[in-house]
Amino acid sequence: MMTDEIISGVLLDEKALTVNELAQACGVTLEWVSIRVEMGVLAVPAENPAEWRFASRDLWRARQLCALERNFDALPELAALVVDLQEEIARLRAQVG
């Protein structure tokens, strides 16, 4: 299947996801997202869920958390620690080049 049409995407960091869109993108419930926001694992600048916005890093973190919790039956706190460490490894590797 191939078309000549050129598709333009939107950068998530310019138009971030709502809480509903993040839940849909990760295949999780709104409650799952809310709990991780309360835990501070996913950072949002606002208190009202309707104003929560999630950019590229949040989507990446949320998907990693889902996979760790599912594959290893990991506690959310433990999965969060692993994701923090994954980010730190990625940052250090980028510095090394």
- C-alpha gyration radius of the chain: 15
How far is the CA of 6 from the CAs of 3, 9, 38, 76, in angstroms? Answer: 8, 10, 40, 40
Show the binding pattern over residues 36-55: x = contacts other proteins (CB under 8 A), - = does not: -------------------x
| Residue 92 interacting with other proteins (CB under 8 A) | no
Contact between 77 and 62 under an 8 Å Cβ cutoff? The reply is no
Among 18, 34, 60, 81, binds other proteins (CB under 8 A): 60
Binding range to other proteins, per CB under 8 A, among 9-17, 30-38, 39-47: 9-17
